[in-house]
Structure 1
Amino acid sequence: MPPRYPSSRCRLPWLLLLLQALLLARAFFAFPGAPASSSPSELYPVFQDVNHMVIFGFGFFLMVLRRYGFSSTGFNFLLIVLGVQCSVLVQDLLDLLNIQPSEFGIKSLARAVMSMTAVVISTGAVLGKANPVQLIVMSLVELIIFHLSRCINIRVLQVPQNLTLMHVHLFGAYFGLAVTSRFPEAAPGLDKNRSSPKSELFSVLGTVFVWMFWPSFNSLLAESRWQAVLNTYLALAVSAVAAFMLSALTSKDGKFRMAHIHSAVLAGGVTMSSTAQIIQHPWIAMILGLLGSVISILGSHCLQRCFNPPLKLQDTSGVHFTFGLPAVLGAVAAVLLRVVQQGMVEQWSDLPRLGYLIFFEVGAFCQTISTALITGLITGLILNIKLLKAVHVSKYFDDQFYWEFPHLSVGF
């Protein structure tokens, strides 16, 4: 390894050893005998789909940079396998403090894997700029804050426990945007800060895997599982068709842009995360999938040109318009759908009750966004302290800083 790329031996292995020892010690005392889940045969296939989606799908989804492929997939896998253990133990500690009931088993493990989606999305915002130690610290802080945000929604705002997990996209996108705003900007002409045909091909491969398994993600803990699967698939299908249509319409020469396909085809699944199990008519899901694709593609144009430069945001993989904006659309749609359904049941006779419902529903996702932004800004400041040895701007987006990858220096 050239001398300008320092070794990670002094920090990263010892940090991983310390964290794993702490997690192992806590697990030894917390789970002396793991009880069997009530229906493992039913849950495990869906859990396996979600596991594939988070590890394989998102791992390749993040391969958008031409010289950051090893780090995108490798660090994603490391963060997930470490973060799932941490998430399970955070749930156990919340149960121990009588804050949030939890039971160790397949459901607890499923919640832990789903919670890691927030970390993966946030990692996409700081992709190429944070070193592994910074990513691990960010993941641990984000998991703890996300679970605390869920507790507020459950205990104070009376949101069902399963629905609070569907805020992972909101929390992950805005937490990541707040963190990346605290990192120095890369030079505008930096050659490494772009994609290549090979990296885009792998990234779209990951997008296709995420697209395929998203119905399982939305239905894993849903009460009406098959309804959630149906609504999510229809929304995903419509958003994919709309992505191709809008890509051709918005391009200068009428050709498809891979960046549009990469982000907009998932918008339907993100939009359905909060609404999949409450939509009674499939055409509503299809309309939301269409709107999600529209807001994703139009948002990519407006945000990158109008808002990112003054706010000094370098959203490397476009998590804001891929996950953030469609998640906001889904949260607003969920409020409207619940109010309409409740109003039709009560014949619109109890308006104060409906106002009370709106207040708590809107408060839940506003609390999620505000908590993500505030704690993300604080986390971004913490990640840039000297102890964590932040990467110099000239070394952004470079695999060779972390991996044995000698042919990068000869034109890979």
Structure 2
Amino acid sequence: MEEISWQIVLLEYFLNFFELILFEDFLRQDFKLRHLFWVILNTLVSVVLGYFSVLIWFFAPIIYRKIKNKKMDYLYFNQRLLALLITFTLNFLLNIVYPLMMKFIKNLDFSILFFELLTIISLMMIAILIHKKRAALDQIVSEIQKLNLERRVYWLLLISFLVIWTSYMAISAYLYFVPKETTTMVFISILLGVASVQLMAFLFLDMSRRAAEDKAIQNEQLQNYLNNIEQQYQELRHFKHDYHNLLLSLNSVVENDEQLNSYYQQLILEQPDEHKFSFALNHLDYLQNEPIRGLIVQKFFAAQKLGIELELEIKEPLVVPAKLVLTVIRILGILLDNAIEHVDKETDKKVSCALIKSPDLIEITVSNQASNLSNLDQLFENGFTTKKNHQGFGLANVRNLVDQNSDLFFEKELINGNLQMTLMIERSSDVNS
């Protein structure tokens, strides 16, 4: 059998990684010259490990993040997996027709170069198609993020890639190393592998579709409920304004009637609560997400019924990215419920909620007195609660929701008996919201 020159092997590895990394950059729309260094490095690793270096290229950043306790950026790794899946699927299909090419091209080195040229042309055609459909694809990505399906998509892409990669390696082994008698066994194995991944993909997508539909219904119901609260808040503001004007107009009428004047003075005494309401939710209109405003108004009245003061601090207009609104509502609702529950047993019955905007982040800090609290980590354990007959999964859910979203971060601290819990939202996620 004719041997392949080492120069051609090196060039083949270089072109494979060049195609892969360039295509990944295209998907991410992030072309950088320094990425050429990774092409060269992976080419050298491939000389020793062959196509197993692809697995190292993919899994090394994941292992690094685990060691450093960094959050998994599913959008980043999904783009990388998609690039891997497309390039290896293309190579897989071209390898199937490779024996036909060999009938017309006798020189092995030249056939490999022709194969790589065909791969590059095919990837360029795929890139053109993706470019034309970029807006639709961005919309799909946005919907996946809104429904928090990034992790499920990651596992689907990973399983699909591993099956394609295994099939690709099997075909390559057959073409270069395995005797011809094993042809049937190899192709049956490949077909079984492809059929298996299709079955898994179908089951996965069906479960994801049902979960997404259920979640969409729940989210719609939640948003309608909070929008209704926001509408009631606006109606209350209009009523307060009309009520104040009505009292002013009655002043001249009741001056000469002692009984009416006494009743009028009682109405005037009710005004402090109104001013207290206005002060507590000062500048609420700066928050430009109606559902979140509705949640805060709801928690304000819930706290007021318990004799607890909920004070809002927001000094400038800000907006939470649309794709994160429902997740933020769930987290903020849990944090406010937890704070209200805690201060109900404290002497200082006050909860403050501060929303602060910086160039890179939106910070939402909920703080309250917690004089009897010593172990912060215990708060976030499944099953921990201070309520009777309650399962206590609230704050544990906060941890899970934050872990599932790469745009969210969470900090907690206890300072002089005051508990502060801060949700940080990356403003870079505004782009596709």
| Same topology, TM > 0.5 | no
Which structure: greater strand fraction? 2
Instruction: With the length of structure 2 as denominator, give the TM-score of the two structures.
Output: 0.25
Higher relative CO (CA 8 A, sep ≥ 6), structure 1 or 2? 1
Q: Who wins on radius of gyration, i.e. which is larger?
A: 2
